[in-house]
Structure 1
Amino acid sequence: MLKERQQGLVAILTANIIFGLNTPVTKELMDHWMSPIGYTITRMFFGAALFWLVGLFLKSEKVDKKDMWTMIIGGLMGFIGTQLLFSQALEYTTPVIYSLLMALTPVVVLILSAIFLKEGIPSRKILGIIISISGAGLIIYLSGSGGPTGSNNGLGILLAILCVFCYAGYLTLTRKISMKYNPITIAKWMFLVSAIAALPLTFNGGLEHQEIYSESGTVWAYSLLLFSLLFSTTLAFFLMPYALKRLEASTASIFMNLQPIVASVVAIAVGQDRLTWDKPLAAFLVILGVYLVTYKKRKEVAPA
């Protein structure tokens, strides 16, 4: 049993480090090699091809008609919507600001669940919401007019907030089907819907005008894109459900707080952002608030 838990810890740690690294990686691609549309199209086509290929070697699951509609909407919202907003936000703001705002996702999920699923919110979680939002408010208030790379933080922050709500809505919408179907079944249908939706964008130069696909593309640029495709789009997707089957939800949620830390450290180290007094304070408030929202006492966690 201890061995399985250790495997789960390694999986959840690796997945969140990958997600954290993918933020500055995407920023580098947006700054020099790809447009948000080109990046999103590439990820959608790659994900659809890969997960349908993997699905050929697994037992096929029949998807109920009503669940298929959920997957269609989820694919448009969680894959196309979130990924496009993700890359567009990083075109204008820094990885540190973006990752700290995205850390609010569990808070927004809780709020949406209370509104649409009529789930209660205990006082501890209300306190967590207030603390995390105050951290986000600090980020927004002190963000200024631009980062060290000449970005537009105001527009980037707006896109990041929209991304948070889009992803939180996706998580809320797909909660039931995520417990009903194999992750590969969900992924292959959602990626297929997203790839079909992204197809018209290719007719307007969505791929052919990407710098990375021209003669000026470099090994470094290809390495960054391969990291995003192979690790963030693929490996981390397999690691998350593997870990969640071996760990309590509260343990897994704590590791999610690694994402903004990894993204911030790497972004500052490579010069995509600078360290100022407000960022550690904002990070502390956001992570503390998210911890209060996601933490469950041992007696609150249902036995496996």
Structure 2
Amino acid sequence: MTKDKWHGHIAIFAANILFGINIPIAKTLMPEWIDPVGLTFLRMSFGALAFWVVSLFTLNEKVSKKDLLILFFCAILGTTVNQLTFIEGLGMTSPIDAGLIVTMNPVMVMLISALVLKEPITSKKAGGVLIGACGALLIIWQSYTINQGHSGSLMGNLLCFISVVSYATYLVISKPIAQRYSPVTLMKWMFLFSTILMLPFSMQDVVNAKLFSEDTSLSALASLFYVVFFATFIAYLFIPIALKRIRPTTISMYNYAQPLVAATLAILMSQDTLTWDKPIAALLVFTGVYLVTQSKSRADLENEGNFTTKNKE
């Protein structure tokens, strides 16, 4: 593996660690301190402000009108629809059901990549996705068993599924444009578009939030800082860095690490205990990631002279 690809793996792994830590922290804010939609708007608006400020001190890249249109659709799919449908869906269904649906992300990315980018579905890639899913599902199933289960609503599950498809499509269509611009340039436009799109739906939630009243607390503000700075600005900065270097299917595989990160944090915070399933789940997840990284891409097969549009091996 080249040094450049290693940087891509480190970037997306770091992003998913930040996303995994964000799960319990964001839950401390919602709905007591702020509604989910309001918190999502704060993430988008802070991200837009932060990326535009950083862009003042980096290389100024001119983005063509055609690419701005692509970034607009990336904003719709990768942040606006993805975040809103997941948060609304999570409010209607159980965390267990939502977690099960999210594990479908690498499968969707693999299928969409095959359709759009003509990436082959190799046996290693399909096997890696399946093994990684088993690891994530093991963590989720144990949580379901311990908590004696709770079934979510059909509409909530449907919204979570829309979120998964939206994010998977974003990872695939943003791959080509990620090669042409810096991560800061990509994110400043995406977050600006997302902020504008979300403004009509969320301002009332922000204005009425207890988080910004006299009753606010230092711990709540500290949680907000983590959510908007680390889980938004830093984490989303890492995603295009990874997209520039590794395949969308490989990137999506690291989503399986989020339940492991959340479980590890819960153990460290004495909210959970280390049980037999967690090390096994970790082994399955990282075995799956390894297999996907070892699978051959379209470029690899073309270099070998073995690729046709019908080739799936």
Counterpart position of 2:17: 17
1:220 equivalent to 2:212? Answer: no
Deviations 1:214-238 (A, max 9, x none): 2222111111110011111122334
Partner Cα distance (1:272, 1:153) in 2: 24
Structure 2: unaligned runs, 5 residues or longer:
303-313
| Distance change (3 Å), C-alpha of 1:40 and 1:102 | same
Q: 1:65 offset after TM fit, Å?
A: 2.0
CA distance in 2 between counterparts of 1:28 and 1:301 reads: 48
Letter in 2 for 1:160: C
1:262 aligns with 2:278: no
What displacement does 1:171 show? 0.7
Number of positions where the alignment pairs a residue of Structure 1 with one of Structure 2: 297
Q: Does structure 2 retain, via aligned residues, the 8 Å contact 1:107–1:290?
A: no
1:108-127 → structure 2 map (5 Å cutoff) = 108-127=108-127
Q: How far did residue 120 of structure 1 move?
A: 1.7
Question: Is the 2:122–2:296 contact (alpha carbons within 8 Å) kept by the matching residues of 1?
Answer: no
* Distance (Å, rounded) in 1 between the aligned partners of 2:28 and 2:150: 13
Deviation at residue 28 of structure 1 after TM alignment: 2.2
Instruction: Look up the match of 1:180.
Output: 180
Deviations 1:137-157 (A, max 9, x none): 778888869958x97645665
Per-residue CA deviation, residues 184-238 of structure 1 (Å, 9 max, x unaligned), is: 11111111111111111245x2212222122222111111110011111122334
Cα separation, 1, equivalents of 2:101 and 2:113 = 19
**Structure-to-structure mapping, 1:128-277, within 5 angstroms:** 128-131=128-131, 153-154=152-153, 157-203=157-203, 205-239=204-238, 257-267=256-266
SS where residue 162 of structure 2 aligns?
A: helix
- The farther-off stretch of 254-263 and 43-52 is 254-263
One-letter amino acid matched to 2:29: L
Where in structure 1 are there 5+ consecutive unaligned residues?
A: none
Alpha-carbon contact 2:21-2:261 (below 8 Å) kept: yes
**2:265 counterpart letter in structure 1:** V
Q: Which moved more, 1:29-38 or 1:129-138?
A: 129-138
1:159 & 1:285 partners in 2: Cα distance?
A: 28
Post-superposition shift, 1:58? Answer: 2.2
**TM-score, L = length of structure 1:** 0.76
Residue deviations 1:43-83 (CA, integer Å, cap 9, x gap)? 11111111111112223212122211110011011111122
**Is the 8 Å Cα contact of residues 147 and 273 (structure 1) preserved in structure 2?**
no
Inter-partner Cα distance in structure 1 for 2:5 and 2:127: 31
Q: Secondary structure at the match of 1:174?
A: helix
String of CA shifts for 1:29-55, please: whole Å, max 9, x gaps. 224322121011111111111111111
> 1:180 is paired with a residue of what secondary structure?
coil
Q: Distance in 1 between matches of 2:212 and 2:191?
A: 22
Instruction: State the alpha-carbon separation in 1 of the partners of residues 84 and 279 from structure 2.
Output: 28
List aligned pairs for 1:67-86, cutoff 5 A: 67-86=67-86
Shift of the 162–93 alpha-carbon distance from structure 1 to 2, 3 Å rule, reads same
* Percent of aligned pairs with the same amino acid: 40
1:37 and 2:32 matched: no
* Equivalent-residue separation in structure 2 for 1:297 and 1:116 (angstroms): 17
- Letter of the 2:116 counterpart: F
Q: AA paired with 1:195?
A: T
User: SS of the residue aligned with 1:196?
Assistant: helix
Q: Secondary structure at the match of 1:207?
A: helix
Other structure's SS at 2:225 match: helix
Q: Please give the per-residue CA displacement for 1:1-37, whole angstroms capped at 9, x wherever unaligned.
A: x999998887665443222201221222224322121
The match for 2:94 is 93
Q: Is the 8 A contact 1:106 1:290 kept in 2?
A: no
Question: Does the CA-based 8 Å contact 1:146-1:153 persist in structure 2?
Answer: no
Contact 2:109 2:252 in 1 (8 A): no
Mean Cα displacement is larger for which, 150-159 or 209-218? 150-159
Q: Distance in 2 between matches of 1:21 and 1:213?
A: 23
Deviates more, 1:61-70 or 1:80-89: 80-89
Moved more, 2-11 or 106-115: 2-11
Change in CA separation of 1:290 and 1:93 when aligned onto 2, cut-off 3 Å: farther
RMSD over aligned Cα, in angstroms?
4.3
Q: Is the 8 A contact 1:106 1:293 kept in 2?
A: no
Distance 1:165 1:181, change over 3 A: same
